[in-house]
A = this chain, B = another copy of it.
Amino acid sequence: MGPSVERRPPVMADVARLAGVSHQTVSRVLNDHPNVRAETRTRVMRAIDQLGYRRNLVARALVTKHSRTLGVVSFDTTLYGPASTVYGIEQAARDAGYFVSIVSLRTIDRAGVNDAIGYLAEQGVDGIVVVAPQRSAARALDDLPAGMPAVAVEGWHQGDVSVVSVDQVEGARLATSHLLGLGHETVWHVSGPADWLEAEGRCEGWRAVLTEAGRRVPDLLTGDWSPRSGYQAGKHLAAMVGDVTAVFVANDQMALGLLRAFTEEGVKVPEQISIVGFDDIPESEFFSPPLTTIRQDFGAVGRRSIDVLLRQIESSESLPHERLVVPPQFVRRGSTTGVR
């Protein structure tokens, strides 16, 4: 019946017409430009919510060349660590007025990360955070699109990109020293999978402390971060009670697996074997026994990485790349005790 049945969403020009001003004035009101008469401003505002107008950020991005969107590339955001980091990133970004577009990789390799970065670049993100805990993934940062601001989280410090990470080596030192300080002859280690930078860092810290103290460095056991792999390592270690009195496990989930294996084999924790984990997942405090562990402040890592990235985006020239390190924190609970 009416002149046009199909209703398209209102645009700036519609608001302008209704308010009796030019579209540019509407734009000025929206970007709260100073030089608009108060009376005009309210007239425009009234027109805006009369029409239910929302500005089209896509059109805006086209002309300003800024989408106010950040890209995040991560791996398996189902895990507590990545999930918390991404959460921290998202919060910090939104507080700064940015959107977050996320790509969560199933498997992580250079090609995959590169693709993801490419997609995000096409989409016009202003900067990219790569949560790149593996060597192979971190290497993908070498071929970023020219001029794309980026920051690596838990990545490698080589190459010319800023990195924000928890000090893994220090965390491992805390864990290992704690156990030696309790009087244990040496400390065993169940590490994360090869190629993971975090696994390497934790292994390095553990080995360093033992070496510095002149202790025997036992054979390394390797898991894949899963409770199951910890369980398997635990079965292996349980067979060596007496020889093994202290274990530093590279994450809390594997530590849970160890705990389970020890329970099954009748090995008492901490009486016969002390265990230290890493991460401090929310569950750790309620393991039996509650787990002594190293807390990583993932939220802080996320926030810091956004700080670095935004500084890079908002300054015109390219800043020198920095390396930010968030300290880990030792959390003493019931899974460790001194030797008799």
* Chain A residues in the interface with B (C-beta under 8 A): 52, 54-59, 61-62, 67, 69, 76-78, 80, 83-84, 86-87, 90-91, 94, 99-104, 106, 118-119, 121-124, 145, 226-228, 230-231, 253, 256-257, 259-260, 263, 282-283, 285-288, 290
Contact = CB atoms under 8 A, between A and B. Distances in A.
Given A77-B86, A228-B286, 17 more contacts: A54-B122, A55-B122, A56-B122, A58-B61, A58-B124, A76-B87, A77-B77, A83-B83, A94-B103, A99-B103, A100-B102, A102-B102, A226-B282, A227-B285, A228-B285, A256-B286, A259-B286
A69 B283 contact: no
A87 B61 contact: no
Nearest to A147: B9
A83 B81 CA distance: 11
Given A145-B54, A227-B285, A91 B67 contact: no
Contacts of A226: 282
A90 B69 contact: no
18 contacts: A54-B118, A54-B122, A55-B122, A56-B62, A58-B58, A58-B67, A58-B123, A59-B62, A77-B90, A78-B84, A78-B87, A99-B119, A102-B102, A227-B282, A256-B283, A256-B287, A259-B288, A260-B287
Contacts of A101: 69, 99-102
B286 A288 contact: no
A119 B54 CA distance: 9
A58 B54 contact: no
Given A54-B121, A101-B100, A122-B56, A282 B260 contact: no
Contacts of A76: 87
A91 B84 CA distance: 19
- Please indicate which of the listed interface residues A80, A228, A257 has the most CB atoms of chain B within 10 Å of its own CB: A80
Given A91-B106, A104-B87, A260-B287, A123 B57 contact: yes
Contacts of A83: 77-78, 83
A249 to B, nearest CB: 13
Given A69-B123, A257-B286, A91 B62 contact: no
